[in-house]
Amino acid sequence: SGEDGKFPAELNAWEREVLDAEMKRDGFVAWYRNPSRSSQDSLGVAYVGGTQVRIVRPDFLIFSRKADGSIVADLVDPHGTQFSDAIAKLRGLAWYVELYPEAVRRVDAVAKVGGILRVLDIKDAKVRLAIASSDDAKRLFESDVAADY
């Protein structure tokens, strides 16, 4: 951030809506706009897209203080369901949780469906199972494995 404490970020309307909701959570400390480019200051998660290994870069890292005073990180990724790689990216995030279950507190994929923000809690095993068996991200966000954000 600059000396004024502000971070220049270009966010679409529902990314701002997600960020506003995150900042209202108990214990919120700070947020980081994860750069979409490959760099040392960008967190990337591998996923298989077609026949290639690609990288999804979750939009936000949210930092919160737990009751014991420790700081935890959450990955929050508002992302459209209309993209052809949407389900592959969800699978990559699910795989990340399987490999590194304690790396972050939450991994939430968020999408606007029918004018409502919906969330998939990827730390939830039944959500990961639904992701593994689905070929349609929009249907996942419309299903009962998702919740209103």
Burial of 55 (0-12, 13-18, 19+ CB in 10 A): middle
Buried b vs exposed e over 69-93: b needs ≥16 C-beta within 10 Å? Answer: eeeeebbbbbbebeeebbbbbbbbb
Residue 109 to residue 84: CA distance in whole angstroms: 16
Q: Which residue has the tokens 């214990």?
A: 27
Q: Tell me: the pLDDT tens digits for 25-61?
A: 999 999 999 887 777 888 999 999 888 899 899 999 9
pLDDT at 4: 81
Question: pLDDT by residue (tens digit) across 54-110?
Answer: 989 999 999 999 999 999 999 999 988 888 899 999 999 999 999 999 999 999 999
